[in-house]
């Protein structure tokens, strides 16, 4: 009885170990990409605007049930980036101009929640795996923007993504929106 219980537990323990290893690798990969992004951008890391971003990001990331990652939010000043995006492992970047572009706090939080949803569900890494299996190149695999049809990832992928990958991308957009709504409600924002 006891032996069968122990044996039954082995695969679960092995799975947990593999899961932890994947999360660690993902975090390391995202950290490299995030470090490069910070080098390439003049970061606005001080002042009320940064505190405001941390405050919103903290509320949202704490609303994630059993989060896989710790989240870090940075402001960037790349002229060509319109909307927030994330890297695997919990790294979220928000263009300075988006603070003015968002209509209100709920929209601002909604876009961040959508990016968090992509990261939690590892959409960037999943897309990379699919691309590798199919031997396809995708320059946007770690670039996970917010809303279908409007964010920079969608705009870029409509040009460069092969059909199968684009379908995956669009499906992930819907999944992320569905993930983001309860997150917003739990964090005290209006999801409408």
Nearest Cα to Cα of residue 94 among 84, 106, 105, 82: 84
Least Å distance, CB 46 to Zn ion, is 29
Residue 39 Cα distances to 32, 33, 34, 64, 77, angstroms: 11, 10, 9, 29, 11
Point out the residue whose Cβ comes nearest to Zn ion: 173
Stretch of 55-63, 87-95, 133-141, 172-180 lying at the interface with Zn ion (CB under 5 A): 172-180
Contacts 24+ apart (CB under 8 A), 21-26: 23/68, 23/69, 23/89, 26/69, 26/88, 26/89, 26/122, 26/125
Of 120 and 173, which has the nearer Cβ to Zn ion? 173
Determine the size of the site formed for Zn ion (CB under 5 A): 1
Tell the smallest beta-carbon distance from residue 141 to Zn ion (Å).
13
Only one of the segments 43-51, 64-72, 102-110, 167-175 lies at the binding site for Zn ion (rule: CB under 5 A); that segment is 167-175
CB of 161 to Zn ion, least distance (A): 13
Closest to Zn ion by CB, 74 or 83 = 83
Nearest distance, CB of residue 172 and Zn ion, angstroms: 7
For residues 74 and 173, which CB has a smaller minimum distance to Zn ion in the complex? 173
Residue 79, helix vs strand vs coil: coil
Q: What residue ranges bind Zn ion (CB under 5 A)?
A: 173
């Amino acid at each position: 009885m006891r032996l069968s219980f122990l044996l039954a537990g082995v695969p679960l323990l092995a799975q947990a170990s593999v899961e932890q290893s994947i999360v660690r690798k993902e975090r390391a990969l995202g950290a490299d990409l995030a470090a490069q992004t910070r080098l390439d951008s003049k970061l606005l890391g001080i002042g009320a605007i940064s505190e405001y971003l941390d405050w919103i990001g903290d509320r949202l990331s704490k609303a994630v049930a059993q989060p896989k990652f710790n989240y870090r939010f940075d402001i960037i000043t790349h002229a060509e980036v319109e909307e927030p995006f994330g890297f695997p492992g919990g790294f979220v970047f928000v263009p300075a101009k988006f603070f003015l572009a968002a209509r209100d706090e709920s929209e601002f939080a909604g876009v961040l929640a959508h990016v968090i949803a992509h990261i939690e569900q590892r959409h960037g890494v999943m897309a990379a795996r699919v691309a590798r299996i199919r031997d396809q190149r995708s320059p946007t695999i770690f670039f996970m923007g917010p809303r279908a049809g409007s964010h920079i990832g969608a705009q870029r992928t409509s040009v460069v993504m092969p059909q199968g990958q684009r379908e995956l991308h669009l499906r992930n957009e819907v999944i992320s929106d569905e993930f983001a709504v309860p997150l917003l409600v739990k964090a005290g924002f209006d999801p409408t």
